[in-house]
Amino acid sequence: MICDGSTPPPFGRALCAMVTPFTPAGTALDADRAAKLAADLVSRGCEGLVLNGTTGESPTTSDAEKRQLISAVREAVGASVPLVAGVGTADTAHTVELARQAEAAGADGLLVVPPYYSRPPQAAVEAHFRRVADATGLPVMLYDIPGRTGTRIEPDTMLRLAGHPRITAVKDCAYDLLGTTRVIARTALAVYSGCEELNLPLYALGGAGFVSTVANVAPTETRAVLDAFDAGDTAEAARLNRRLLPLTELMTASGLPGAVTAKALLDAGPLREPLQPAGPGAVAGLRRAYAELADR
């Protein structure tokens, strides 16, 4: 089936890749703070939330913390806000178990990366995704981020996986505009930008929206770009996109992970090692760019 643009995106358009708040010592999930952050993000324009993803420091949270986070956020935002839970690991069986736990905890969808480190061939990547998609009744968002996993989900693999009834979306961090455009043109997969600089370009090509790290601190401003485009004012969409550029560049292209830069601007507790907090100079630059965005 080819996407004709008439079907609403399965998880909304403007999704935030939410940070995971920890207690001051960093040893436990701060569920209350997570609930408050989630509710605030939704009140300021986020249509859905992605939990336990890269920005959520999923490699350093336990399975129990992942479940607790989903439950706390679900209670805070209610049943109408789509929650997509990251469940990807290097182990197919573990990923399947996390998928089932996420479903039981109240997730609406699953974000799944290819198994990392082992670098499986495409046939094994495809088999992995089918196993996970068959394990629950939840829709699956494929997460194509070869810079982190070491393994691409090749466009031809996505074209085959698009035939699975529960594989409905892609978070695209592959930096392959031609390949991504092929997937948009030839399937009904909802393709979300996972790279801030491609949020508007991919949307203009028929993408579903974005999964944004910057939305942790600027949810209204990131969504406004899509709203302007949907209203037919492409010049305003481009202007609003440019307005976000200084903050976007510092948060996602400064050599620091998004979890580090987002937490430098948020009251969300510490990072977990091996991540380290941003230095004073980086924090000052981030705060300056954030203040300038608010003033524009």
Virtual torsion, Cα 248, 269, 95, 194, nearest 10 deg: -10
Two structure tokens written together for 100: 């089932």
Predicted confidence at residue 3, as pLDDT, reads 47
State yes or no: is 171 an active-site residue. yes
Residue type, 50: V
Give me the pLDDT at residue 2, please.
46
Instruction: Give the residue ranges of the chain where pLDDT is below 70.
Output: 1-6
Does the annotation mark 116 as catalytic?
no
Which one of 66, 117, 171, 263 is the catalytic residue?
171
Identified catalytic residue from 36, 116, 117, 143: 143
pTM here is: 0.96
14-234 maps to which CATH number? 3.20.20.70
User: So what's the pLDDT on residue 6?
Assistant: 62
Of 136, 90, 73, 91, whose CA–CA distance to 110 is shortest?
A: 136
Q: What DSSP character marks residue 271?
A: P
Each domain of the chain, given as residue ranges in start order, spans: 14-234
Q: List pLDDT tens digits, range 168-182.
A: 999 999 999 999 999
Hunting for tokens 């370009």 — which residue is that?
201
